[in-house]
Structure 1
């Protein structure tokens, strides 16, 4: 998995940048309608899912690629559902977001545990999973807080997740550069 992630570090950074942009837009306009939130969330998860699928169809072990493909398929499905049926209720949207966040969080934590003996500071990956998992659980436990609270929670999550993904991607770039320079003839 380290090889897959370090070779595609730029995709990890791209996912982080998209998450940060989504968070900034959501905070800048917290009064957006549920329809706008559904469309914005749909666009974000669709792009995130496509990025994960791109990584999953690259080189790497089968299990590593399957992890990224699973995350990508989930993101694409959540994005398409939100874009195709933007009139869905806040509760349905909340459940879609919560399930996506819980599954994404658990898979990212599992990947961090798998990588704990391979890389240092795998806690960056675990932290992205923990942030997603906490968001998902909070959305299920307190669904009646309203659309504005949902926007703020999602924006905060997206900013935190995006920043952590950017840091992780840059660390992966360092690993990729070290690996590449170690393989070059002197």
Structure 2
């Protein structure tokens, strides 16, 4: 019979290994990772859209039928585009992120110079500059931006995986000491 700490360190170690492996794969093959993530999202959007359409025609969906039909159709179409045109979808996502980053930067700049600003202005201006620069980079080169996102995701997963792995081994060591004390 396993104690709670034995189960916990096992889960941490397996989770850490899985995250680290994913991170390494994403770093070695960033283009394939980006396309895979787009495909996963495409299938999710497609399935979600189908579920919305089914819900629209159920008796309890009558009040929101119009909204459910619209979101269902958009989900199905977006999913199909991502599934059958993943490269273009990854580039489109980078464009959308770039536009969002620009808008966020402008919003931060406006906030920095508003009368109601409670945050130090220099932090808002610095944030605005970073958002605008990142937005321009994404818009000027969306393909590289999509690859960079994959690589950052891979690096994050690798660091997270190693830290979880270290925590798992530390907990394993602690549970061994608890057993010896009993």
TM-score by length of 1: 0.40
TM-score by length of 2: 0.41
